[in-house]
Amino acid sequence: MKIVGVTACPTGIAHTYMAAEQLEKAAKAAGHQIKVETQGSMGIENELSAADVKGADVVIFAVDIEIEKKERFEGKKVIKVGVTEAIKNPNGVLARASG
């Protein structure tokens, strides 16, 4: 499965990156392809291109705030969870995305 994701927490200091790392780690372990964009205090990093989004089977938002450039994902299947959930239970989040 091809997954793209966006993570963003209120301070954008740490949890954004922890969630991204957890999702990447779990997805790779499960044999999925994944690319996660972080919207943190350093701005948007690892930004998802239109092609990335187009080619994805599912989009995961692990966010506690409104994200930027949300229009890129219109029409896609989106799973939305909180940042903490992605950190604590990335496999559960992936399961929901696959379902």
Smallest distance, Å, CB 18 to another protein?
5
Does the annotation mark 9 as catalytic?
Answer: yes
Is the Cβ–Cβ distance between 95 and 86 less than 8 Å? no
Smallest distance, Å, CB 16 to another protein?
8
List helix spans (H) across the chain: 15-29, 50-55, 83-88, 90-98
- Looking at the Cβ atoms of 43 and 55, the one nearer to another protein is 43
Contact residues for another protein (CB under 8 A)? 10-11, 13-18, 20-22, 25, 38, 40-42, 84, 87-88
- Looking at the Cβ atoms of 57 and 64, the one nearer to another protein is 64
- Looking at the Cβ atoms of 21 and 57, the one nearer to another protein is 21
- Which among 4, 6, 8, 9 is annotated as catalytic? 9
CA dist 21 and 31 (Å) reads: 15
Smallest distance, Å, CB 29 to another protein?
12
Residue 8 burial (10 A CB sphere; 0-12, 13-18, 19+):
buried
* Side-chain-side CA neighbours of residue 32 (13 Å): 24
| Catalytic residue numbers, as ranges | 9
